[in-house]
Amino acid sequence: MTPPGNEREGRLASRAVQATFLIALIALWYLATTRWRVSPLLLPNPVVVARDFWHILKTGEFIGDLRVTLTELAAAFAIAASSGVVVGYVISRSQYRMRVLEPLFAGIYSVPIILFLPLYVLFFGLGPASKIALGATIGFFPIALNTIAGFGYVDKMLVVAARSMGASDVQLFRYVLLPAALPIIVTGMRMGFTVALLSIIGSETIASLAGLGHRIVHLAEGMEMAPMFAYIAFVVAIAAILNALVSVLEARGKRP
Amino acid sequence: MTAVRPWRRALRRPWVARIAVIVLLLSVWEIAARWWVDPIFLSPPSRVFASLPAVFDTRGVPAALRITFWELAVAFALSVVIGLAIGLAVGLKPFARRSFMPIILLLYGTPQVTILPLFILYFGIGPASKIAFGVSHGFFPIVMTIVAGVQNIKPILLTSARAMGASRWQTLRYVVFPHMIPSFFAGMRLAMTGVLLGVLLAELYVSTAGIGYFTTLFTQNFDPTRLLGLISVLAAMAIALNEIVRRAEVHFGRWHTE
Amino acid sequence: MTIRVDRMTSSNVAIRIRGISHQFGEEGDARHVRALRDTSLDVARGELLCLIGPSGCGKSTLLNVIGGLMTPTAGAVEVAGKRVAGPMPRDIAFVFQENALFPWNTVFENVNLGMVFQGVPRAEREARAQRALEAVGLKDFAQHYPGQLSGGMRQRAALARALSLETGILLMDEPFGALDEQTRMILGEDLSVLLARADKTIVFVTHSLGEATFLADRVAVFSARPGTIKKIIKVDEPHPRKPDFVTSAKFTAIRNELYALLHDEIRKTVAETSAEPPP
C-alpha cells in the first residue's frame, strides 16, 4: 500500500516527466531548424510557425475556410442526428427489426466508409455537398446504433412497473423510455459528431476546393511549410475546442 | 389453423431477413440507377457486377490491389510490433504509465488526417507513406488495450504469485502475459480498423500505382461502373480482413469460462 | 491427537509472534488506520489456530504479516527460527478467500504453477499435484478451468495448490467466506479429515463462530479496532472432528463463550463505523 505522502510526490514526478518531455521536444525542434541546419522545406522554424499562427489569428484569414468546414459539419451532423435518431427509434420498437438490422448496421459501419468518397465526389462534385453527404453517412451509424441500443435495451422491469401503474404509450415514452435511453443516445451523438468532423476534414484534404483540410493541402503543395504547420496547429486546436464543447454537452445531457 | 406462407416462415430467421434487406437495397439501387439517375453518376449493381472482369483487366488494377493489400499487411504487422513494445514499456511500470499515458491519449485524440499531407511530404508518394499513416492509426489501440490489460490484473493474483515465491520474470511470464492476451487480441481487432482507415485515406489522397490512382482515374473519367466495381472489391477486402481478426479474437482471446 | 499447548517449548512453537502493531497511513492523515495493537502469540506445531473478530479488527492484516506479505510498523514474527522479512514460499503457503486461481490455466496447471514458483524440480511436480488433487477430491476435474467450476470446487483447487507446496505452515484467510452455508459445512468437515492426516500448522481467519469452534484447536478472539487478542479459547476435541460434534454440549458451550466475547466488540465496531464521516 502506498503511503499517501508518496502518492502525491508520485503524481508531481509524473507531471514533471511530462513537462520535461514536451519541453525537450520543442527544444529539439528549435535546435534542428537553427543549429543543425535541417532544411526549412522539411521542418520549419518553430518561431516562424508561432509567428504565422499568430498572424493567422490576428488577420482572421482563417474565417473563410473555417466557415466552410463548420457549415459542412453542421449540415452533416444535423442530417445524421435527425435521421439516426428517427431510424434508430423505429427499429428499436420491434425485437425482430432489431435482431435483423442492428448487426447489419454494425457490419456496414465496420467498413471504412471513407472508401466511398470518390463515389460521392463523382455524384456531388468537389463542392461542400459531397463532404456533407459523406459526413452525414458516416455520422449516421453511431447515432442510429446507439439510439437502437438506448431504446431497445431499456430494462424490462421499468416498463412492466410503469404499465402496471397504468402508463399510456405517450407517458411511457416520456417518463420511462426517453430518460432511460437519453444517456446512450447522447454518447452516440458525440461519437457521430467526432466521426463526422474527422470525415469532413479528411474529405476536404483528399478532394475539395475549400475548407480547412483543403487549405492545408494547398499550403503543402506550395511547400509553404511554416504556414502549413500553423494551420495544422489551428485545426488541431479547433477540433480540440469542438470536442471539449461536445463533451460538456454530453455530460449535461446525461445528468439525471 | 391458417397455413403460414413458407417465405414468411423463412423470414423469421434473422439472417434470412438480413439477406432480404440487402437484396431490397440492391433492387432500389438497380431501379434508381437504370431509370432515375443520369448514368454518368451512378451505375446499377447488375452492370457493376458484370463489369468486374473489366475492372481487373484494366492495366495496373490487379497490381494496385496487390500493393494495397501488402501495404495493409505491413502496416498491421508494424502496428502490432510497435504497439506491443510501447504498450509493455509503458504498461509494466506504473510510473511510466502515469507519465506517458496522458501524452499518448492526447496524441490519439488529435485528428490525424490533418497531418496526412505532412506524411506524404516526409515519406513520399509511394507505399511508405501509406504504411506509415496506417501504422500511426493502428498502433494506438494496441498500446491502450495492453496498458489496460496490465492495469486491471486483479491484485490478488499478483499477491498469490508473490506468496508462492514467484520471481519478477516468472510473474511476468505466468501471470501478466497470459492475463493480457484477451486485451491484446481486442486491440488487434481495433488496430485492423485503424490500419484500414489510415492506408485507404493515404491512398485516396495521393497514389501513383496504388488503388487511389485508379479511384481518381475512374472518377475523373466519369466511369461509375468501374469505380463502384473497384470500391466493392476494396470493401470486400476490408470486410474479410476485419473478419479474420475478429475470429482470431474470439478463438484466442478468451479464457475458457462457460 | 490433542495438542498439549500448555507445555509449549521452543521446539514445538511453529510461529512466534511478538508485539505486532500495524497502522496504515501517517498520523493525522485522513486515511490513517491503526489496524493492530501490540499482538503477541505463539502457535504450536501442528495446531489449527483460528483468528476471529469483528470486521476490520486486523485479523487479515496479522495473517499477511505472519506470511511476510506485509511488514508491520512494530514487532516481529519468527518462523522456523528465522525472522519473517518477506514471503517464505518453502515454509508458508496461503489460501485466499477467492479469485486467487489463474483463470487461464486448468486446475492441474494452477497446482503445477505453484510448484514452479516455489522451485520444485520438474520430475516431482506431477506426482505431488496428483496427490494434492486426490486429497481434496478434484482428481476428475484436473483439466477443468476455474471458470467451469463451482465456488466450493475452486476453493478445493486453491487448497490443493497450497498443499502441493508441502509447507509446514498453512495460512488461510476466510477460505470459505464466499461460499454458501451448505458448501462451507462440507468443506469444513473435509478439511478436518484432511488435516488430521497431514502434519501442518494452520492459522485460519474466519467470521463464523461455528466454523471456528468446529475446526480449531484454539480460537484467538480479537477486540475491535485497533485489534489485539482479547482471549484465547481452547477447543479440546480430537481431530478428525465428527459431524455430531456440532450438536454436542461442548460445542454449544464454546460457541456461546465466543459469542459472548464477540458480541460487544461487534457492536463497538458497528457504532464506530457509523460514527465515522463518509470518506
Within a 10 A sphere around the Cβ of A32, how many other Cβ atoms? 15
What ipTM describes this predicted complex? 0.87
CA-based nearest distance A2→chain B, Å: 12
| B227–A119 C-beta distance less than 8 A | yes
Instruction: Read off the pTM.
Output: 0.84
Write the pLDDT tens digit of every residue in B165-193: 999 999 999 999 999 999 999 999 999 99
CA dihedral (C206, C209, C210, C216) in degrees, to 10, reads: 60
Report how far residue B241's alpha carbon sits from residue B230's, in angstroms, rounded to the nearest whole number. Answer: 17
Q: Quick check: A3 and C31 CB within 8 A?
A: no
- pLDDT at residue C41 in the model: 93
Predicted confidence (pLDDT) per residue in C250-260, tens digit: 999 999 999 99
CA distance A170 to chain B (A): 29
Least confident of A26-40, A238-252, C3-17, C208-222: C3-17
In angstroms, what separates the C-alpha of C75 from chain B's closest C-alpha?
21
Mean pLDDT over each residue of chain B, to the nearest integer: 90
B172 near C CB under 8 A: no
- Mean pLDDT score of chain A: 90
Q: Are C240 and C193 in contact (CB under 8 A)?
A: yes
8 Å CB contact of A5 and C31: no
**Interface contact flag, A100 B102, Cβ < 8 Å:** no
Show which subunits contact B, needing at least 3 CB pairs below 8 angstroms. A, C
A residues 108..127 contacting B (CB < 8 A): 110-112, 114-119, 121-123
Which of B153, B159, B160, B254 to mutate to test binding with chain C, by most C CBs within 10 Å of its CB?
B160
**Mean per-residue pLDDT, C207-216:** 93
Binned at pLDDT 50, 70 and 90, residue B2 comes out as low
Cβ contact, residue pair C113, B160, below 8 Å: no
Do C31 and A4 lie within an 8 Å CB cutoff? yes
Query: Is the Cβ pair B120, A220 closer than 8 Å?
Result: yes
pLDDT in tens, C20-61: 999 888 777 777 888 899 999 999 998 999 999 988 888 999
Asked if B181 and C104 come within 8 Å (Cβ–Cβ), the reply is yes
Query: Which residue is closest to C70 within chain A, CA to CA?
Result: A1
Q: Hey, are the CB atoms on B204 and A114 less than 8 Å from each other? A: yes
Query: What domains does chain B contain, in order, with CATH numbers?
Result: 6-36 (no CATH), 52-252 (1.10.3720.10)
Q: What is the pLDDT of residues C223-236, one digit of tens each?
A: 988 889 999 999 99
Position C275 pLDDT exceeds 80? no
Q: Looking at the complex, does the CB of residue A86 fall below 8 Å from at least one CB of chain B?
A: no
- Mean pLDDT over residues A189-217, rounded? 94
- According to the model, what pLDDT value does residue C63 have? 94
3-state secondary structure chain C: CCCCHHHCCHHHEEEEEEEEEEEECCCCCCCCEEEEEEEEEEEECCCEEEEECCCCCCHHHHHHHHCCCCCCCEEEEEECCEECCCCCCCCEEEECCCCCCCCCCCHHHHHHHHHHHHCCCHHHHHHHHHHHHHHHCCHHHCCCCHHHCCHHHHHHHHHHHHHHCCCCEEEEECCCCCCCHHHHHHHHHHHHHHHHHCCCEEEEEECCHHHHHHHCCEEEEECCCCECEEEEEECCCCCCCCHHHHHCHHHHHHHHHHHHHHHHHHHHHHHHHHHCCCC
Evaluate if residue C2 carries a pLDDT over 50: no
Are A110 and B218 an interchain contact pair (Cβ–Cβ within 8 Å)? no
Contact residues on chain B for A138, CB-CB shorter than 8 A: none
The alpha carbon of residue B152 and the mean position of all alpha carbons in its chain are separated, in whole angstroms, by 26
B4 touching chain C per CB within 8 A: no
pLDDT at A211: 93
pLDDT at res. C188 = 92
- pLDDT tens-digit map of C64-84: 999 999 999 999 999 988 999
The pLDDT of residue B3: 59
Average pLDDT, chain C: 89
Task: Kindly determine whether residue B170 and residue C117, on different chains, have CB atoms separated by under 8 Å.
Answer: yes
Of the candidate CATH numbers 3.30.565.10, 3.55.50.30, 3.40.50.300, 3.40.50.720, the domain formed by C5-91+167-275 belongs to 3.40.50.300
Please name the residues in contact with C257: beta carbons below 8 A apart, sequence gap of 6 or more.
C233
Q: Neighbouring chains of C at 3+ CB pairs within 8 Å?
A: A, B
With an 8 Å Cβ cutoff, are C103 and B258 in contact? no
pLDDT for C3 equals 44
CA distance A132 to B36: 22
What is the residue extent of each domain of chain C?
5-91+167-275
- Express as a percent the part of chain A with pLDDT over 90: 66
How far does B18 lie from chain A, in Å, by closest CA?
A: 6
The predicted model gives C188-205 an average pLDDT of 89
Put simply, the answer to whether B255 touches C96 (Cβ < 8 Å) is no
Residue with cell 480498423: B193
Closest Cα in chain A, distance from residue C178 (Å): 24
Q: Which chains touch A (3 or more CB pairs under 8 A)?
A: B, C
* Closest chain C residue to the Cα of B257, Cα to Cα: C147
Residues of A in contact with B109 (CB under 8 A): 240, 243
Per-residue pLDDT at B142: 96
- CA-nearest of A117, A113, A142, A129 to A203 is A117
Confidence of residue A167 (pLDDT cuts 50, 70, 90): confident
Q: pLDDT at position B257, please?
A: 55
**C259: its cell numbers:** 459469542
Nearest to A205 among B116, B197, B238 (CB): B116
- Among chain C residues, CA nearest to A3: C25
Report the pLDDT value the prediction gives residue B256, as an integer from 0 to 100.
60
Q: Which of A71-85, B7-21, B41-55, B203-217 has the highest mean pLDDT?
A: A71-85
Of residues B159, B165, B258, nearest to C117 (C-beta): B165
Percentage of residues of chain B with pLDDT beyond 90:
67
Q: Name the residue among A13, A114, A197 with its Cβ closest to that of B200.
A: A114
End-to-end CA distance of chain A: 36
pLDDT band at B258 (very low <50, low <70, confident <90, very high): very low
Distance of CA C163 to the CA centre of its chain: 13
In chain A, the residue whose alpha carbon lies closest to the alpha carbon of B120 is A220
Q: How far is C25 from chain A (nearest CA, A)?
A: 5
Q: How many CB pairs under 8 A join A and B?
A: 124
Tell me how close the Cα of B184 comes to any Cα of chain C, in angstroms: 14
Query: CA nearest A7 in C: which residue?
Result: C25
C24 CB neighbours in chain A (<8 A) are 1
Chain A residues 178-207 with a CB less than 8 Å from chain B: 197-198, 201-202, 205-207
Question: How do residues A82-130 score in pLDDT, each as one tens digit?
Answer: 999 999 999 999 888 999 999 999 989 988 999 999 999 999 999 999 9
pLDDT at A62: 92
In this prediction, residue C7 carries a pLDDT of 46
3-state secondary structure of A235: helix
Asked if B114 lies within 8 A of A232 by C-beta distance, the reply is yes
Which pLDDT band, with edges at 50, 70 and 90, does C268 fall under?
A: confident
Closest Cα in chain B, distance from residue C230 (Å): 29
